[in-house]
Amino acid sequence: MKGEKLPRKEKFSEWYNELLLRAEIVDVRYPTKGLCVWYPFGFAIRQRIYSILRSLLDIDHQEVLFPLLIPENEFMKESEHIKGFEEEVYWVTKGGSNSLDMPLALRPTSET
């Protein structure tokens, strides 16, 4: 891996993922799509960016935190907003070994 050339930029996704891996920022090879492992250097970059954003947002800004899981009927009210990635939403259908009465969507974005 080290010493080898990066994939061509025309294959941007491959190039970008390989760059993140070689720079030891993020490892996107985690077996669950959309989840990755942050290396210490990458996490430090992330924290630095977050602190810069925090200083900008602390002025006349109030935060809210929405639940991570959204009942299916509520999630579908946002059908226009979720177009394009509804096929990639993770659904929780069981609590332990018991099926839930209503599936719960794992909130796909911070603003959903």
Supply the range of the domain harboring residue 48: 12-57
Same domain, 26 and 53: yes
Same domain, 75 and 50: no
Same domain, 49 and 18: yes
Closest among 20, 50, 52 to 38, alpha carbons compared? 20
pLDDT at 95: 94
Same domain, 52 and 75: no
In a domain, 111, yes or no: no
Closest among 111, 112, 40, 19 to 70, alpha carbons compared? 112
Residues 88-109: tens digit of each pLDDT: 888 999 999 999 999 999 887 6
Domains of the chain: total: 2
Closest among 28, 44, 45 to 36, alpha carbons compared? 28
In a domain, 6, yes or no: no
Non-local (6+) Cβ contacts of 93 within 8 A are 99, 100, 103, 104
Same domain, 19 and 48: yes
Same domain, 53 and 75: no
Instruction: Give the residue with greater pLDDT, 33 vs 21.
Output: 21
Using an 8 Å Cβ cutoff, are 102 and 72 in contact? yes
User: For the residues 53-77, what does the mean pLDDT come to?
Assistant: 86
